[in-house]
Structure 1
Amino acid sequence: MRIGLLTQWFDPEPGAAALPGMLARALARRGHEVQVLTGFPNYPTGELAPGYRVTRRLDEVDGTTRIRRVALYPSHDRSALRRMANYGSFAASALVSGTPALRGLDALWVGNSPISVALPMWFTRYVQRVPVLLHVLDLWPDSALASGFIGTDRVSRIIERGMAGWCGGMYRSAGRVAYVSPGAADLLASRGVPREKLVHIPVWADETPRTGVADLRAELGLREDQVVLVYAGTLGEAQGLDSLIDACARIRDPRLVCLIAGSGTTEERLRRRAEEANATHVRFLGRVPRERMPALMATGDAHYVSLRPGGMSAYTMPSKVQATLAAGRALLVAAEGDAAAVARDSGAGITARPGDPDSIADALRELCDLGREKLELFGQAGRAHYDRVFSVAAGAERVERALCEAVESHRRR
């Protein structure tokens, strides 16, 4: 098939923005002709990647994959106005300068975040008559509310209703709607998406080989018998990390070390809380450079995933779940719903009740009692589960199948 990918984010952007590039290469390996429509790389700093300057459009070739980049306003800061300019400028440029590259496709995969990609998506679907698979990578307007992108005042409620209606239009135009976390299926069905349109396609992680990556144990002065729990990510309200600090303060086992890497709105409060609670097991590393993240990943005997109860937590799959499984490390999950189910089903980890320091403390004691060798076995089980369920190869096969179903549905209509 001649398959298109419509995504604002693409290589060489890192992290979650790199996932569409992995899909493009996996589909090309499966014998498909791939055409990508994307923007100029500027994530996560808001500055253009080296070697690029914004022009009306730029065509590239990567192996057998063709890439069309279109102009956008580069930004990724906290300003809602500049973020909207970033999203809106890509959507408008993709509509005007990008959609000609999508003419004649057999099917189109669309990453739904941000939802402004609906403009080129609708043109391709209704004018160019190309069947669409919409991959719901983020739930809108839920994610905008959770991140504080929109507030709770009257105007924000109007914006929220407008976003919900916009998303409804996206769902109706797609031949298939893919969701990444099992719990999202019922939510999308409740929002009017027919069950026969829904398909579960989990997302993958960075699968760059990390054999031979040195850990940071010696640098951090850690003993061989110490069990290291790592949390790396945003330090915000949604993560509910206060309960982890309180749990660590309840542990007296000298083998436990908890490393917290990252920054965010709750960082100073968490540091004070750890000091006041005499949580001596906890060390704050601050922001860790991207190139050192594989070493930090290798340092952790287990990695901590936490979501505050309520809201989106039951149907959210934090990307660090897949990243930890792919790295072959054990999980400790203090969250409801799908993330906890993966820890149990994969055999890669243990769970605790979110927001409950006593339950989390019990899980920390279990980590210490298991020891590093048994946690290594948990990690191996997790990697095997990742290969079966979350790998890009498995994802590309599911995407291919869903695209074929969208094409068949389009032909029947």
Structure 2
Amino acid sequence: MRIGLLTQWFDPEPGPAALPGMLARALVHRGHQVQVLTGFPNYPTGSLPPGYRMARRLDEVDGGTRIRRVALYPSHDRSAARRLVNYGSFALSALVSGTGALRDLDAIWVYNSPITVALPMWFTRYVHRVPVLLHVLDVWPDSAVATGFLGGGPVSRLAERGMAAWCGGMYRAAARVAYVSPGAGELLARRGVPREKLVHVPVWADERLPARAADLRGELGIRADQVVLVYAGALGEAQGLDSLIDACARFRDPRLVCLVAGSGTTEGRLRDRVATAGVTNVRFLGQVPRDRMPALMATGDAHYVSLRPGGMSAYTMPSKVQAILAAGRALLVAAEGDAAAVARDSGAGITARPGDPDSIAEGLRELCDLGREKLDLLGRAGRTHYDRFFSVATGAERVERALAGMVAAGRPVRASRRRRRAAG
């Protein structure tokens, strides 16, 4: 098939922005022609990497993948206004300078976040008549509300309603809507997406990172007999990390070391909480450079996944779950819904009630009682589960199947349209 990928994020951008590039390579490996429409790389720093200079458009070839990059306003700081300009500039630029690259394709895969990508998506769907597989990695407007992107008050509620209507238009335009977790699929169905349109395509991890790497235990002065729990990610309200700090305060076992890496709006409060309670088994590492993340992943005998109860937690699948499974590490999950289900189903995790320090403290005790060798076995079970359900090869196969179904369903319609044009 001739397949298009429409995504604001693409290589060489790291983290979640690397996922579309992995899909492109996997589809090329499966024998397809792949055309990507994306922006100039600038995530997460907001600056273009060496070798790139902003231009109206740039066409590249990477292996078997053709790439069209279009201009955008580079920004990834905490300013909501600049983020909106970043998102909107890509959408408009892709519409004007990029959609020609998606003409005459069999089908396109669309990364739905941010939802401004709808502009080039709608043009390609309705003008070029190319069927769309919309991959809902973030459910909007819920994700914007949870992160505080919309702020508060009546204006934000109006924006939320507008986003919901906008997303409804995206779902109607798509021939298929892919969801990343069962809870997200049920939510989309409740919001009016026909079940026959829905297809389950879980998200993969960045498999370019080494699964096993040298750890940081010696550098951090951690004894060989101590169990290390790592939390790496955003320190925000949605993560509910106050409960982890309170649990560590209650479980003052010298066998445990808890490492917290990252930054965010609650970092100051969490540090104050540790100092006030005299918690000695928690260490803050700040932002860890990307090239040291494999070492940090290897340092953790288990990794912590947390979502504050309520809101999006029941149907959110944090991308770190797949990353932890791919790295072959155990999980301690304090969340509702899909993330907890993966911890149980994979055999790689322990679950605790989110927002409950006593339950989380019991999970910490269980980690220490299992010890490092048994936690390693849990991690290996997690890697097996990842290979079976979450790998990029599995994801590409599911995407390929959905695209092929869309193309087959559209053939009679296109043939009828050609006959009408010929008769006219």
* TM-score (normalised: structure 1): 0.98
Listed one character per residue, the Cα deviations across residues 7-53 of structure 1 (whole Å, up to 9, x for unaligned) are 00000000000000000000000000000000000001111111111
* Alignment partners' CA distance in 1, 2:175 and 2:80: 32
| Residue in structure 1 matched with residue 106 of structure 2 by the alignment | 106
- Whether the aligned pair in 1 keeps the contact of 2:141 and 2:160 (CA below 8 Å) is yes
| Residue in structure 2 matched with residue 77 of structure 1 by the alignment | 77
- Whether the aligned pair in 1 keeps the contact of 2:113 and 2:136 (CA below 8 Å) is yes
| Residue in structure 1 matched with residue 89 of structure 2 by the alignment | 89
Unaligned runs of 5+ in 1: none
Pair 1:39 & 2:39 matched: yes
Aligned amino acid, residue 210 of structure 1: P
Over the aligned positions, Cα root-mean-square deviation in angstroms equals: 1.0
- Whether the aligned pair in 2 keeps the contact of 1:175 and 1:410 (CA below 8 Å) is no
| Residue in structure 1 matched with residue 49 of structure 2 by the alignment | 49
| Residue in structure 1 matched with residue 200 of structure 2 by the alignment | 200
Aligned amino acid, residue 155 of structure 1: V
* Alignment partners' CA distance in 1, 2:362 and 2:149: 36
- Whether the aligned pair in 2 keeps the contact of 1:22 and 1:392 (CA below 8 Å) is yes
Taking every aligned residue pair, what percent have the same amino acid on both sides?
Answer: 82
* Alignment partners' CA distance in 2, 1:152 and 1:250: 35
- Whether the aligned pair in 2 keeps the contact of 1:112 and 1:138 (CA below 8 Å) is yes
| Residue in structure 1 matched with residue 213 of structure 2 by the alignment | 213
- Residue 211 of structure 1 and its aligned partner are, at CA, apart by 5.8
- Whether the aligned pair in 1 keeps the contact of 2:211 and 2:326 (CA below 8 Å) is no
| Residue in structure 2 matched with residue 393 of structure 1 by the alignment | 393
Pair 1:141 & 2:141 matched: yes
| Residue in structure 2 matched with residue 180 of structure 1 by the alignment | 180
Q: Secondary structure at the match of 1:183?
A: helix
Alignment of 1:360-399 (within 5 A): 360-399=360-399
* More displaced 10-residue stretch of structure 1: 196-205 or 267-276: 267-276
Listed one character per residue, the Cα deviations across residues 112-139 of structure 1 (whole Å, up to 9, x for unaligned) are 0111111111111111111110000111
Listed one character per residue, the Cα deviations across residues 249-302 of structure 1 (whole Å, up to 9, x for unaligned) are 111321110001111111111111112222211111111111111100000000
- Residue 405 of structure 1 and its aligned partner are, at CA, apart by 1.6
- Residue 171 of structure 1 and its aligned partner are, at CA, apart by 0.3
Count of residue pairs brought into register by the alignment: 413
- Whether the aligned pair in 1 keeps the contact of 2:212 and 2:298 (CA below 8 Å) is no
Listed one character per residue, the Cα deviations across residues 180-233 of structure 1 (whole Å, up to 9, x for unaligned) are 111011111111100000011000001125266210000011111100000011
- Whether the aligned pair in 2 keeps the contact of 1:175 and 1:409 (CA below 8 Å) is no
| Residue in structure 1 matched with residue 416 of structure 2 by the alignment | none
Pair 1:348 & 2:362 matched: no
- Whether the aligned pair in 2 keeps the contact of 1:110 and 1:132 (CA below 8 Å) is yes
* Alignment partners' CA distance in 1, 2:316 and 2:50: 34
Aligned amino acid, residue 188 of structure 1: L
Q: Runs of 4 or more off by more than 3 Å in structure 1?
A: none
| Residue in structure 2 matched with residue 282 of structure 1 by the alignment | 282
* Alignment partners' CA distance in 2, 1:195 and 1:147: 28
* Alignment partners' CA distance in 1, 2:381 and 2:128: 46
* Alignment partners' CA distance in 2, 1:50 and 1:239: 34
* Alignment partners' CA distance in 1, 2:212 and 2:277: 38
Aligned amino acid, residue 384 of structure 1: T
* Alignment partners' CA distance in 2, 1:165 and 1:211: 41
Unaligned runs of 5+ in 2: 414-424
* Alignment partners' CA distance in 2, 1:99 and 1:211: 37
Aligned amino acid, residue 112 of structure 1: N
- Residue 411 of structure 1 and its aligned partner are, at CA, apart by 3.0
* TM-score (normalised: structure 2): 0.96
* Alignment partners' CA distance in 1, 2:411 and 2:141: 32
